[in-house]
Structure 1
Amino acid sequence: MRKIFTLIVSSLLLIGVSFVFLYIISSMYSPQADHVPLLNDKRVISPEVENYRPIIAKYAKANGIAQYTDLIMAIAMQESKGRALDVMQASESQGLPKDTITKPETSIRVGTQYFKKALRKADGDVSLAIQSYNFGLGFSDYVKTHGGKYTPQLAQQFSKEKAKELKWESYGDPDYVNHVMRYYTNEKQKREMAKKNN
């Protein structure tokens, strides 16, 4: 009887350890894992957005935010993947209907200027600036009156409150920071891997 009990406990322990091990492995190699860059090529900068690099770099430099060139490219990737004329979906930041801007360079110029405003309004808090690019600059004011620091929870809360206020089904993308940073981080890792392989 004691041997059977020991055998059952040992088996359950082995099964438990196996499940934990499998969970860790699947988390590491899941397509949803942000730290695994190349399992899904859609998560890196597309050739279409890469083609706009010189223009994005030009306007980032002109606005004194050249150090954010790669981040602005990640925003463009999240916004359009380079497949829309309004590359940075900047029309709405000007109070215009979606896709009013029909020249990619105009979109990049306007979008980069708007991101600079978002950075300034966010006092340099990059995550807050990124989320404000999606929600609008009023999100920075909201954060300042709700603890003063960006959190994903505040983004979710703001999105729900705005949707209710406007009687919309949803408002913006409360996970926008994660979506943009996924492209930014994976592209950076892709380049580092390419350097090592050369």
Structure 2
Amino acid sequence: MRKIGSLIVSSLLLIGVSFVFLYIISSMYSPQADHVPLLNDKRVISPEVENYRPIITKYAKANGIEHYTDLIMAIAMQESKGKALDVMQASESQGLPKDSINKPETSIRLGTEYFKKALTKSNGNISTALQSYNFGLGFSDYVKLHGGKYTPQLAQQFSKEKAKALHWTSYGDPEYVNHVMRYYTNEKQKRELAKKNDD
């Protein structure tokens, strides 16, 4: 009796694993899929953020960083997904409490200006600039004092040190670079695929 029970459990487990495997493969190659390998979970630029493209482009141009427009949109996705009035969560960069800014264009203007400052302070290093957008511009100085090159380990170290100094349980998002670049890269993949399909 035990052998039959074990056989049934083993069979069900095998069927379950096979189902998950087939689901992943079919999701990757389904005509409806976004074709983002192993993600396929809408982690691309949302319609809400896409609606802000003209305003983001406007302020990216004004700051001389128009070629970073898509990256700024990825920042907006990570910050609010376009579902908050403070689209780029720029309040805190201005020394204000969270969500103090209640006009999307103001948020985008200030957020884009802050990202430009982060780029300048980091000598154009994208990873350092992105992490500085989340941690504050002091992170660029921290990188310079610790070898001069951004690493994920350095971001983790900075986060822990700041949290300890402030007596907080955590500080910022040490995975911020990966989270923003996920949106940026997935969106790029989606567009490239759409272009191939149109051709």
Task: State the TM-score, normalized to the length of structure 1.
Answer: 0.82
Distance 1:166 1:46 in 2: 35
Distance 2:65 2:103 in 1: 22
AA partner of residue 146 (structure 1): H
AA partner of residue 76 (structure 1): A
Partner residue of 1:133? 133
AA partner of residue 117 (structure 2): K
Cα distance, 1:109–1:156 mapped onto 2, change above 3 Å = same
Distance 1:156 1:126 in 2: 17
Partner residue of 2:17? none
Distance 1:189 1:37 in 2: 13
Question: How far apart are 1:156 and its partner, in Å?
Answer: 0.2
State whether residues 37 and 187 of structure 1, in contact with CA within 8 Å, keep that contact through their aligned partners in structure 2.
Answer: no
**1:165-194 deviation per Cα after TM superposition (whole angstroms, max 9, x unaligned):** 000010000000000000000000000000
Partner residue of 1:58? 58
Partner residue of 1:108? 108
State whether residues 37 and 44 of structure 1, in contact with CA within 8 Å, keep that contact through their aligned partners in structure 2.
Answer: no
Partner residue of 1:39? 40
Partner residue of 1:19? none
Structure scoring higher RCO (CA < 8 A, sep ≥ 6) equals 1
Partner residue of 1:87? 87
**Helix, strand or coil at the partner of 1:143:** helix
Partner residue of 1:8? none
**Moved runs in structure 1, 4+ residues, more than 4 A?**
none
AA partner of residue 170 (structure 1): S
Distance 2:39 2:143 in 1: 34
Distance 2:125 2:75 in 1: 16
Question: How far apart are 1:36 and its partner, in Å?
Answer: 1.7
Distance 1:86 1:54 in 2: 17
**1:73-121 deviation per Cα after TM superposition (whole angstroms, max 9, x unaligned):** 0000000000000000000000000000000000000000000000000
Cα distance, 1:61–1:174 mapped onto 2, change above 3 Å = same
**Helix, strand or coil at the partner of 2:73:** helix
**Helix, strand or coil at the partner of 2:64:** coil
Partner residue of 1:162? 162
Task: State the TM-score, normalized to the length of structure 2.
Answer: 0.81
AA partner of residue 82 (structure 1): G
Partner residue of 2:153? 153
Matched, 1:197 2:197: yes
**Helix, strand or coil at the partner of 1:168:** coil
Aligned residues, how many? 168
**1:29-74 deviation per Cα after TM superposition (whole angstroms, max 9, x unaligned):** 7xxxxx6276111x10000000000000000000000000000000
Distance 1:38 1:129 in 2: 26
Partner residue of 1:120? 120
Unaligned 5+ runs, structure 1: 1-21, 30-34
